[in-house]
Amino acid sequence: MAARNSASPDEPEGRKGKRGRANGEGTVFQRKDGRWVAEAYVLASDGSLKRVQRYARTRKEAYNKLTSLQENSNRNVAVPDRPWKLGEYLDYWLEHVAKPSVRATTYAKYEQTVRLYLKPTLGSQRLDRLRVAKIQTFLNGRLKGGDSVAKVHAMRTTLSSALTRAMREELITVNPARLVTLPAESPERLKPWNAEEAKRFLNHARNHHLYPAFVLMLLYGLRRGEVLGLAWDDVDFEQDVMSIRRQIQRVDGSLALVEVKTRAGRRSLPLLSWARDALIQQAEWQAQKRRSAASTWEETDLVFTTRTGRAIQPRSLSRSFERLSESAGMRPIRLHDLRHSVASLLKRSGVAPRDAMEILGHSRISVTMEIYTHSDESTQREGLGRLGGTLFGEDDGA
């Protein structure tokens, strides 16, 4: 093997072997098999100095690699302290990064995506050698295999979140998941209930024990978990204010009362007379059930409970809504779509987007504006009717 040295590739050969090396200067040498090696101690992601080698076909190429290593180290661009496999890093990211920082439901989605989709196919890949083409091929295969665009986007999002963290930990320099190209998601065009449909549903549900919950959902656009997480200490009858602070969610197979997801979701709403009456009706129903189920009643302080005082399963509320909608002959929509109905009704009632955003607990005005700029047949007819009146001085005769 040739003597090691750190001289420039353009330096005269006679000087290369005589020149001493400063600590960390690095070296270039040739192996017995003819390959050239660049070797240096550079900054590692754990803060230590790590001996790194890079191979090349020519001495000049090896020298360029040595220079690149040293320049990156001088700029505090660290190399991985060990060769992580993607599967290893995803496990680490789930346990030590995602779990302590995201909501339990979000973590459950991340964990499922990693376990079922990412690790089986990509887990054996070296983290620092994961390339855009590999991820693109994987996601394209999922689409061809029948997965929905939304599901594949969720896979890319989860992977990208983990790789962004890996960049912060200086294990990789580029997040290849961000560079993947996927078809745009095209959610179904929703036609929410109009005012007449909402009123018809409420009239039909008036004698159901969950009627007050549907009143709050159609009056304030509360989310399913928010209405089920409402407690009596959140309702101030003296000040006529209702505070949205917590929500019921299923976490690890059990129901849990957790804080609302965002600061915008934590909001106070005026207790209008219709909501006040509905809550009084609910309090009377609950008092009756407490008396009749005295031995089995569980005190939770929740406004909406089962007949024995326990928290209601979110899916049970959805099933009750579906059964009532069907028996009323309603056009089917999801329970969550009531929020869109409320937003559309607020828009048609002339409520300013900023006020609607705070009522609905949207974290960004852009979310509200997506609904406020959504056009439907009735608004199109109104707009065209006004234009026709301007042009012809009469209505359309419809």
23-64: per-residue pLDDT in tens?
A: 457 899 999 999 999 998 888 767 788 888 888 899 999 999
Residues near 30 by Cβ (< 8 Å), separated by ≥ 6? Answer: 1, 2, 36, 37, 59
- The proportion of the chain whose per-residue pLDDT surpasses 90, expressed as a percent, equals 54
pLDDT score at 36: 93
pLDDT tens profile 288-340: 999 888 788 999 999 999 999 999 999 999 999 999 999 999 999 999 999 98
Q: Could you give the maximum distance between any two Cα atoms of the chain, in Å? A: 102
Rounded CA separation 36/65 (Å): 11
| 260 confidence band (pLDDT: 50, 70, 90) | confident
Burial class (CB in 10 A: 0-12, 13-18, 19+), 90: buried
**Residues 221, 237: Cα–Cα separation, whole Å:** 20
Give me the sign of the Cα torsion angle 199, 231, 337, 284. negative
CATH of the domain spanning 13-74, picked from 3.30.730, 2.60.40, 1.10.3470, 1.20.1250? 3.30.730
**pLDDT tens track for 85-111:** 999 999 989 988 898 888 888 898 999
189, 173 in Cβ contact below 8 A? no
Domain ranges in the chain with CATH number 3.30.730: 13-74
Where in the chain is CATH 1.10.150.130?
86-179
Q: Which fold has domain 195-334?
A: hpI Integrase; Chain A (1.10.443)
pTM recorded for the entire structure: 0.64
What confidence tier does 81 reach under pLDDT thresholds 50, 70, 90? Answer: low
Position 390 scores a pLDDT of 75
Start and end residues for every CATH 1.10.443.10 domain found in the chain: 195-334
Superfamily covering domain 86-179 = Tyrosine recombinase, N-terminal domain (1.10.150.130)
